[in-house]
Amino acid sequence: MSLSSLESRLGVTIEPALLELALTHTSYSYENGNQPSNERLEFLGDSVLGFVVSAYITEKFTDLAEGELSRIKNAVVSAKALAPLAEKLGLGEHLRLGVGEERSGGRTKANLLADAFEAVLGAIYTSAGIDAATEFVKAQVFPLLANPQALLNASEPKTK
């Protein structure tokens, strides 16, 4: 499957080199001369995601206390929430993985998919700016916020 078909599913144009980098796992990087991996884009995407979600839920759920807002945010920025979104977008099919990660089913691992989702978001931000990144989060992540009470009920015991 081509990266252009992925781009159409993402709904945004990303510089091809950045999109490829966002899909490059450290295992591939290591096995191919320690070329750059998606870790820096993942770091950036995680921050963009946290900011956009935090701003939205603070504005939308004015009756909730800070602790409840934190639990909702943590629920939607978790690997458990992001992996199915990445899977739906087909990110696993496009991951560049090392041999061992490929053999161990890396394309379907929740943490790798969630990391790729965040790296792609970082690439969107870098390539197209905060407005495009925000629109991507609105389209992909905000539907998870339709039922905040369910997110609060499903929170990890530790966050309660």
Catalytic sites, residue numbers? 46, 118
Close Cβ partners of 154 (under 8 Å, ≥ 6 residues apart)? 75
Q: In terms of residues, how long is the chain?
A: 160
The sign of the dihedral angle between the CA atoms of 20, 76, 65, 146 is positive
**Is 36:29 a contact under the CB 8 Å cutoff?**
yes
**Collapsed DSSP state (helix, strand, coil) of residue 75:** helix
At 126, list the tokens: 């870098």
Instruction: Check if the beta carbon of residue 19 is closer than 8 Å to that of residue 95.
Output: no
Identity of the amino acid at 130: I
